[in-house]
Structure 1
Amino acid sequence: MIEFVRGYIDYVCPEYIVMEVNGVGYQIFVPNPFSFRPSRDTIMTVYTYHYVREDVIALYGFRTREERTLFAKLLQVSGIGPKGGLAILATGDVRRLVQAIEEENEAFLCKFPGVGKKTARQMILDLKGKLQHVMPDAMPNLFAEWEHIDRSTALDEAIEALKALGYAEREIRKITPILKQETLSTDQYIKRALQLLLK
């Protein structure tokens, strides 16, 4: 098990980041890649989940151990794979997610890509009462905000990231006019889009 990776952020794209550690680049899939900024000036620590299946070996990364624990618990739910787990965590609003599970709010859970009524019910059955230790009180907001000079580029990157998370183009098209009214960084566009998608 790889507990964490500590190094420089070398590359960011809609699906993953690349961290350089002693000359080796690690491809790490994260909930919101654009919350990271490529930099040779800052050493970062990303807590990892080493996912191994017959046809897949991948690293998934998180800002905190608590967030990684929640991801691992989501993977234990029938019907949720790594991509679905990342999409659920991409909002950064863990308190709302835990609240929905505790209150058995299936309608809210079904708004995540790939989550239908059956999977939402399974999430509630498997996780209700078991997530107190991953509440956001133990998860400080560590996202580093950074500005893109080109608003259109930032919005385009955000749209690609939403697609990578599994949101359909028709869902994205509905909220794009709203996003175009704002000037935000890529990370901020993604967070704003997720807020709109989960309303």
Structure 2
Amino acid sequence: MISYIKGEIAKKGLDYIIIDNNNMGYYISTSFSTLNKLKEKDHAMILTYMHVREDIVALFGFLTQDEMDLFKKLITVNGIGPKAGLAVLSTYETNTIKEIILKEDANRMSKVPGIGKKTASKIILELKDKVGTLDSLTVGESETVTGRDTSDILDALISLGFNSNDAKNALDSMDIEGKSENDIIKEALKNITRQVL
């Protein structure tokens, strides 16, 4: 089992990173939240989970222990594999996921790509006693974004291959107050795509 990998971020994709460790490149599937905090050439320690099946060996990784712990809980749910767990973590921040589970909000959970209402209800049923309490949830420093705090998001959009002017114009045209970084990036991607078309 590989618990973590330290090295340089050699490449960022839409849902993965390649980290160079001793001249070996490790392909690690990850969430939007972790991707948004990393830049190519950064040195980082990525916490990893190795998924082994008869036909595949895959690494999933995260910057924070909170994301890793929640990922491991999600994949204990029958019918939720690592890719579905990653989809949940790429749709919502960790505290939002816990809040959705604790409030038994199957509608919001079912907005995750690939998660239907039945599976959403199953996630809530199986994890509501395992994610803490509503009182214990605190808003993380990257949970919501103010109008002046967009540099990381702009960098994330540029690292995905978009022109800096297009990315800035997309952000300037949006109301970002109180939204998570993930939500802002998704909305910005839609806006940029419309501009290109």
The two structures have a TM-score, normalised by structure 1, of 0.70
Superposition RMSD in Å: 3.4
Cα distance, 1:124 vs structure 2: 1.2
Give the match for residue 182 of structure 1.
170
From the superposition, tell whether residues 136 and 60 of structure 1 become closer, same or farther in structure 2 (CA, over 3 Å).
farther
Number of matched pairs? 166
CA change 1:60–1:95 in 2 (3 A) is same
Superposition pairs of residues 1-199 of structure 1, within 5 angstroms: 1-32=1-32, 34-35=35-36, 36-39=38-41, 42-132=42-132, 137=138, 141=142, 145=152, 147=155, 153-154=161-162, 182-183=170-171, 190-194=182-186
Where has structure 1 moved over 6 Å in runs of 4 or more?
A: 148-152
- SS for the counterpart of 1:154 is coil
Residues 63, 97 of structure 1: CA spacing in aligned structure 2 closer, same or farther, 3 A cutoff?
same
CA deviation map 1:11-39 (0-9, x unaligned) = 11113110001111111000126422111
Shift of residue 154 of structure 1?
A: 2.6
1:91 touches 1:194 (CA, 8 Å); kept in 2?
no
Structure 2 residues without counterparts, runs of 5 or longer: 144-150, 173-179, 189-197
Task: Say which SS state the counterpart of residue 20 (structure 1) adopts.
Answer: strand
Any stretches of 5+ residues in structure 1 without a counterpart? 156-178
- Post-superposition offset of 1:151: 10
Superposition deviation, residue 190 in structure 1: 5.0
CA, structure 1 residues 189+25, in 2 after alignment: closer, same or farther (shift >3 Å)? same
How high is the TM-score relative to the length of structure 2? 0.71
Moved more, 122-131 or 76-85: 76-85
How many Å apart are 1:105 and its aligned residue? 0.8
